[in-house]
């Protein structure tokens, strides 16, 4: 009898623990979104307030290294105009995505990176760390860790390949 009771109590504690973790995560997501609203790291990088080496700079976008590379090569193509994410774009903004994509492809080609070994895509809210649109360019895919393959998982709710993102915008009313 007491063993059964203890088991029940144990399960209850586990549920309470899980609930506490869930509540903490929600608050953490909320607080980090608040601080992202106050200042935008990528806007600071683009304006030169936060010095970063640009691999490419045009009138419309910059390309620089990701500070937490997911493979041997990991770059971000970031439009100069602040937009939160793909979700904030409309059908008329597909050109923005095309510009980032072609810029990233051209740049990776200058590094001698094979296009069939690259992963190009966007994170989807709320799974974005910096709320300023950025295209990830990662290569080679085969050198990505299990965790990174999960974080940058094509066709998932949190990551869209560049073609998926275009399709998403095309279908937006
Ligand atoms: Zn910004
Ligand atoms: Zn990202």
pTM: 0.78
Q: How far is the CA of 47 from the centre of ligand 1 (A)?
A: 10
| Confidence at residue 1, expressed as pLDDT on a 0 to 100 scale | 54
Give the ligand with the smallest distance to the CA of 129: 2
Q: Cβ(85)–Cβ(119) under 8 Å? A: no
Instruction: Indicate which residues carry an active-site annotation.
Output: 134
Centre of ligand 1 from the C-alpha of residue 48, in Å: 12
Of all ligands present, the nearest one to the C-alpha of 152 is: 2
Is residue 134 within 8 Å of residue 65, measured between CB atoms? no
Q: Which residues surround ligand 2, an ion (CB under 5 A)?
A: 123
Which pLDDT does position 22 carry in this prediction?
A: 67
Tokens found for residue 83: 């937009």
HEC string of the chain equals CHHHHHHHHHHHHHHHHHHHHHHHHHHHHHHHHHHHHHCCHHHHHHHCCCCCCCCEECCCEEEEECCCCCCCEEEEEEECCCCCCHHHCCHHHHHHHHHHHHHHHHHHHHCCCCHHHCEEEEECCCCCCCCCCCEEEEECHHHCCHHHHHHCCCCCCCEEEHHHHHHHHHCCC
CATH code reported for the domain at 41-171? 3.30.428.10
**Proximal ligand: closest to the CA of 132:** 1
Q: Which of 91, 81, 76 is nearest to 121 (CA)?
A: 76
pLDDT at 7: 74
pLDDT tens readout for residues 155-170: 999 999 999 999 999 9
For the chain, which residues score pLDDT lower than 50? 36
Cα(27) to centroid of ligand 1, in Å? 23
Domain locations along the chain: 1-38, 41-171
Residue with tokens 């860790």: 145
Q: What is the pLDDT of residues 122-136, one digit of tens each?
A: 999 999 989 999 999
């Amino acid at each position: 009898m007491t063993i059964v009771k203890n088991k029940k109590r144990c399960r209850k504690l586990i549920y309470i623990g899980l609930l506490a973790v869930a509540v903490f995560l929600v608050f953490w997501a909320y607080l980090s979104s608040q601080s992202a609203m106050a200042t935008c790291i990528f806007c600071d990088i683009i304006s030169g307030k936060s010095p970063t080496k640009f691999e490419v700079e045009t009138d419309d976008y910059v390309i620089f290294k990701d500070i937490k590379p997911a493979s041997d090569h990991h770059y971000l193509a970031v439009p100069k105009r602040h937009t939160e994410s793909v979700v904030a774009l409309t059908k008329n903004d597909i050109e923005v995505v095309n510009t980032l994509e072609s810029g990233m492809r051209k740049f990776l080609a200058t590094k001698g990176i094979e296009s069939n070994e690259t992963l190009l895509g966007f994170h989807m809210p709320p799974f974005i760390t910096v709320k300023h649109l950025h295209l990830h360019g990662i290569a080679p895919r085969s050198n990505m860790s299990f965790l990174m393959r999960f974080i940058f998982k094509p066709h998932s709710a949190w990551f869209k390949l560049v073609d998926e993102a275009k399709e998403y915008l095309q279908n937006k009313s």
